[in-house]
Structures are given as structure tokens and as C-alpha cells.
């Protein structure tokens, strides 16, 4: 569920990111059509007009008097148009305000048209594009009846600011690469983790099936104990759950319990299946299954406590059990849990020497032995489990 949410979140981030880039792209495209109307100036005394993107300078040369003509006065204007920023000017024009009776004698680097008191200069083929840090020069010679200086100028144009010229574009591209790398890394590691989890689950299942098979071998020694080890394991797991153990700990207790009677494979069938009372000598041999089980499992160190479960599950809480006579909490907890579950299931099952006991008698027996043979707290859990209707049968 959490992984599902992470995937949705990752997809969401990517989608948002691409939408952001698209919007930026459209913005960049839209700017292509933007019109600029800059450098509108009324006072040309400085003859330099600027804005943030462009720089225009017009210098009036010395005028000269033309005698005996209707016009009477001539002047040359030299212009300089500079593109300061990253924008590319793709078309441009400049307008001057001049006296109505003036006319243009000659002009260069642009096409000049005069209409009433306006001179319109627009780009010619070779200088339509004014790219970043480039400049064009232009000029004209104009005749008027009175000395005159250009005192109003208007620069128009279409500029193309490409999306890639925005610093944020580089930053977003960088982010995009980071996001893509992170996403690919995440997907690869997620895929690997998934495979690893599948493998882990397989190994766990193999271990569990092996343990259950061993348990079946143990129980097969005696028709009366068929399924005993698995039932004890299920009770022990439920007890540990109610004791507040973690899921991993519950699984460990389950596995330990499956093999608690493994030592019985070394006990003679004639003793295990004897319908009547065992002789003291036979009883001693039967009791040997605890220490033998511990010895068999001593090298099985990967499941912590599995040796203890087999060796100490017949220890008594008062110290009168076997094989070591441990008492109280000196008995490993897993062995104390198995001891109660084992006793309950033994009394709850038919044996070759008696039929199964009633629940009432079993509970009384467990309570009577609570704190003597059994750990009292575990007995309480065991009784409660049964009263709650817990079943060791598979739900199917
Ligand atoms: Fe046992």
C-alpha cells in the first residue's frame, strides 16, 4: 500500500514537472510575437536612448547652410542600434519626428520612408536580425528649411526570446535530469527489492516446509501424536502473540515449537507406544528425548533458541523438571511457552493409555500446576486462548 502511494507520488511529480516545462515552452514561444515599443524619447539632447534590452544612439553631425535654395539647411544623422540582452530581434523599425517640409537626401543600412512629419526606417534583408551583442549602424542626410535636430524617436520590433535563454530553463532541465535519474534508480531498486522479497519468501517457505516435514516425521513415530507438533506450534505462536511479541518473534516461537519433540526419534517405539505405565527405567529413557533433542539441534544456530525449545520444554517452573532442573525464569521463555502448550495438547488428545480429558479437567489441571510446573502467566493466556475459541485447524 505504501509502495503504491510512492509510485503514484512519483508519477504525479513527473507529470507536474512536464506540465511545468510545457508551460514554459509555450511562454517561450509566445514571446516570439511580443512587440516592443521602446526608446520613446522626447528630448534628444543626450542623443542616447536606452532600455533594458536595446541601446539606440543618434548623433547629429554639423549642419550646413545651403544658399539660394528653398530648403536652405542640411544635416547628417548617424545612428547606432545595439542589442544588449539575450533576446534576438527578428524585425525592427525606427521612427523619427521631423519638420513636415524636410526631405531625405540619402540614407544607408535601412529603408527610409517619409510621410508628413514622420521618417520611418525599417530593416533591410541583411540586418533584419539583430542578435545578442550585435549592433547595426544607420544614417541619413536630411534637408530642412530651418536648422533642426531629431527630438523624438520610437523603436519598434519583434523579439524572439528563446525558452533556452531563461536561466530557469537550465535549472529546470537540471531538475529534470535529477528527477529522471532518481526515478530510474528508484524503479531499478524497487524491481530488485521485489525480486529479493520473492526469493526471501521462497526461502522462508522452504525452511517452514522443512520444519513441518521434520515435525511430521516426529509425530509419525506414534499414531496418537499425529499433528501434535504442529498444534503445539500454533498454540505457542498464539500465546506469544498475546504476550505482545513481534510478528518475527511469533514466527520464531512457531518454528522452535515444531521441533520441540525431535528427540523422540531416538526413543524406542516400544516405549513411546506402550499402552500401560512405563517402568522407571523406561521413563528415564523417555525423558531422554529432551536432552537428545537439544543435542540434535545444537548446530541449528540460525533459528535462535531452537535447541533450548527441545532441551528445556520439560523443565518445571519449580525446578523439579528435567533434564537440568532449571526453575522460574532461568528456563528459556520459549521452553516455558512450549511446556504449557504441549501439556494442554497432550491432555486434549487421545493417548494409547487414556482418552482425551474434558476441557474442565484440563483447565483445572493447568491452574493447579500454575506456578509449580507451569509459568502462571502463560497458563492464563493458554486458557484464554481456548475460551476465545482459538482453533489449530486450518480455516479451509
Ligand atoms: Fe516432549
Q: Measured in angstroms, how far is the CA atom of residue 302 from the centroid of ligand 1?
A: 22
Same-domain check for residues 139 and 285:
no
Q: Please indicate, yes or no, if residue 213 is contained in any of the structural domains.
A: no
Q: Residue 156's pLDDT is what?
A: 67
Q: Is residue 383 assigned to a domain?
A: yes
| Claim to verify: residue 230 and residue 87 sit in the same structural domain | no
Name residues with Cβ closer than 5 Å to ligand 1, which is an ion: 261
Going from the Cα of 311 to the center of ligand 1, the distance in angstroms, rounded, reads 9
Q: Are residues 300 and 381 in the same domain?
A: yes
Could you tell me the distance, in angstroms and rounded to a whole number, from the CA of residue 185 to the centre of ligand 1? 52
Highest-pLDDT range among 5-19, 154-168, 352-366:
352-366
How far apart are the CA of 330 and the centre of ligand 1, in A? 19
Assign residue 156 the CATH number of its domain.
2.60.40.290
Q: Which of 276, 275, 282, 283 is nearest to 352 (CA)?
A: 275
Same domain? For 135 and 239 the reply is: no
Q: Say whether both 56 and 74 belong to one domain.
A: yes
**Per-residue pLDDT tens over the stretch 310-348:** 999 999 999 999 999 999 999 999 999 999 999 999 999
Residue 172 shares a structural domain with residue 153: no
Q: Which CATH number characterizes residue 321's domain?
A: 1.10.3210.10
Q: What is the pLDDT of residues 192-249, one digit of tens each?
A: 999 999 999 999 999 999 999 999 998 888 777 788 999 999 999 999 999 999 999 9
Rounded Cα–Cα distance for residues 288 and 295 (Å) = 11
292/180: higher pLDDT: 292
Report how far residue 146's alpha carbon sits from residue 378's, in angstroms, rounded to the nearest whole number: 119
Quote the ligand 1 centre to 55 CA distance (angstroms): 100
Q: Are residues 260 and 295 in the same domain?
A: yes
Which of 2-6, 16-20, 79-83, 129-133 has maximum average pLDDT? 79-83
- What distance in angstroms lies between residue 201's CA and the mean position of ligand 1's atoms? 30
Q: Is residue 198 part of a domain?
A: no
- Both 238 and 350 in one domain: the answer is yes
Distance between Cα 243 and ligand 1 center (Å): 23
Q: How much distance in Å is there from the Cα of 290 to the middle of ligand 1?
A: 6
340-371: pLDDT as tens digits:
999 999 999 887 767 889 999 999 999 999 99
Q: How many independent structural domains does the chain possess?
A: 3
- Do 280 and 134 fall within a single domain? no
Residue 227 domain boundaries:
221-387
Q: Is 384 a residue whose pLDDT tops 80?
A: yes
Does 388 score more than 50 pLDDT? yes
Query: Of 107, 138, 160, at which residue does a domain stop?
Result: 160
Mean pLDDT of the chain: 82
Residue 98 shares a structural domain with residue 239: no
CA of 366 to the centre of ligand 1 (A): 17
Comparing 19-23, 100-104, 262-266, 282-286, which segment has the lowest mean pLDDT?
A: 19-23
Amino acid at each position: 500500500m505504501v509502495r503504491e502511494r510512492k509510485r503514484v507520488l512519483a508519477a504525479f511529480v513527473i507529470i507536474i514537472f512536464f506540465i511545468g516545462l510545457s508551460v514554459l515552452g509555450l511562454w517561450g514561444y509566445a514571446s516570439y510575437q511580443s512587440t516592443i515599443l521602446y526608446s520613446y524619447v522626447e528630448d534628444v539632447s543626450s542623443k542616447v536612448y536606452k532600455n533594458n534590452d536595446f541601446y539606440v544612439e543618434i548623433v547629429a553631425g554639423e549642419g550646413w547652410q545651403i544658399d539660394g535654395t528653398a530648403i536652405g539647411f542640411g544635416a547628417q544623422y548617424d545612428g547606432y542600434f545595439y542589442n544588449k540582452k539575450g533576446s534576438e530581434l527578428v524585425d525592427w523599425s525606427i521612427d523619427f519626428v521631423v519638420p513636415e517640409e524636410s526631405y531625405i537626401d540619402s540614407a544607408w543600412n535601412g529603408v527610409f520612408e517619409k510621410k508628413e512629419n514622420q521618417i520611418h526606417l525599417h530593416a533591410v534583408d541583411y540586418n533584419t536580425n539583430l542578435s545578442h551583442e550585435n549592433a547595426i549602424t544607420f544614417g541619413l542626410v536630411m534637408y530642412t528649411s530651418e536648422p533642426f535636430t531629431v527630438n523624438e524617436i520610437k523603436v519598434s520590433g519583434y523579439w524572439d526570446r528563446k525558452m533556452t535563454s531563461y536561466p530557469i530553463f537550465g535549472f529546470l532541465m537540471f531538475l529534470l535530469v535529477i528527477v529522471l535519474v532518481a526515478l530510474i534508480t528508484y524503479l531499478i531498486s524497487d524491481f530488485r527489492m521485489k525480486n529479493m522479497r520473492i526469493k526471501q519468501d521462497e526461502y522462508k517457505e522452504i525452511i517452514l516446509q522443512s520444519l513441518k516435514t521434520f515435525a511430521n516425521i516426529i509425530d509419525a513415530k506414534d499414531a496418537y501424536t499425529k499433528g501434535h507438533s504442529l498444534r503445539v506450534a500454533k498454540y505457542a505462536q498464539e500465546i506469544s502473540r498475546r504476550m505482545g511479541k513481534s510478528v518475527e518473534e511469533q514466527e520464531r516461537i512457531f518454528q522452535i515449537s515444531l521441533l520441540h519433540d525431535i528427540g523422540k526419534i531416538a526413543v524406542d517405539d516400544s516405549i513411546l507406544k506402550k499402552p500401560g505405565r512405563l517402568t522407571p527405567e523406561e521413563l528415564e529413557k523417555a525423558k531422554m528425548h529432551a536432552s537428545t533433542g537439544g543435542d540434535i539441534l545444537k548446530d541449528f544456530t540460525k533459528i535462535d533458541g531452537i535447541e533450548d525449545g527441545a532441551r528445556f520444554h520439560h523443565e518445571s517452573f519449580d525446578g523439579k523438571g528435567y533434564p537440568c532442573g532449571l526453575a522460574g525464569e532461568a528456563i528459556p521463555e520459549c521452553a516455558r511457552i512450549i511446556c504449557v502448550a504441549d501439556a494442554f495438547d497432550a491432555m486434549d488428545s487421545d493417548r494409547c493409555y487414556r482418552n482425551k480429558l474434558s476441557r474442565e479437567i484440563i483447565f483445572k489441571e493447568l491452574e493447579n500446576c500454575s506456578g509449580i510446573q507451569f509459568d502462571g502467566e502463560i497458563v492464563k493466556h493458554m486458557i484464554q486462548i481456548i475460551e476465545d475459541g482459538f482453533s489449530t485447524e486450518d480455516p479451509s
